[in-house]
Structure 1
Amino acid sequence: MSDDWDTVTKIGSKVTGGAAQRETVVRGKGALNAAQRSGAIVGTEKKFATGNAANKSGSEGQRLTKVDRSDDIIAPNKVPAEIGQNIRNRRSKEGPYKMTQAQLAQKVNCQANDIKLLESGDAIKNQGLLNRVARVLKVSPKTGLPLDDK
């Protein structure tokens, strides 16, 4: 038992001698399959923050970092009022897209209150809901403007 306290384990340095193999990083599905076939112990980890993801133009990650670092209460992103106004105009105008908030909510599989909040500009940004409403009303999910009037 006392021997355990006297030994030192070095991680990441080159170990001389011994029968144990060093850890290797395998890139590619073929090399991973070959390692599994050989009977080696295989552990997989998924990298989430890769270089390509950092280059994307979305700012949600930056906003979340700001929320994490701030001691104050940060308000969540809301749907711009002009998008809600454009959706309301499209829904209430005479024609094939004329329907009530409840009818639109049923078509997009959500609550009527969600549509009410979306149209008033008080809704927290939910891109999935915006995309479904845009698909039903044939409007742009980014601006709320009709797509078939172009």
Structure 2
Amino acid sequence: MPMRPTGGLKQDWDPIVLQKPKMKAQDLKDPKIVNQALRAGAQVQTVKKIDAGLNKKAATLAVNVRKLDEAAEPAALEKLPVGVRQAIQKARIEKKMSQADLAKKINERTQVVAEYENGKAVPNQLVLGKMENVLGVKLRGKIHKS
């Protein structure tokens, strides 16, 4: 016959004491924490900024805008060459596939295939590679320059 405990169950665990974490440098920027420290009597160092309260940032902004205006225009995004667009369309039609069928086989949206055929898409080598595999046509390289 098994023995039964005669007394109450006891806990063998030690108590855990939770403490507040120490202040970090970023906490010193929070006015609530600074005020709390002042009330507690801790020493708080303040630094006066030179341009505090003055609107001196506008001159810097004007210089940055001027630099942007003087800089060369950013290069236009590369467009798909006409030969590649025609090759995609021709190969798709020869295989008797719709844009939706091609999109499903390359795991892209139908809109992506339509943009490639219309020349509105920015060429993505991964998408072109998938199209090459499905259509069996070379789409990347120096063959299709416009």
TM-score category, normalised to shorter length? 0.3 to 0.5
Higher RCO (C-alpha 8 Å, min separation 6): 2
TM-score by length of 1: 0.45
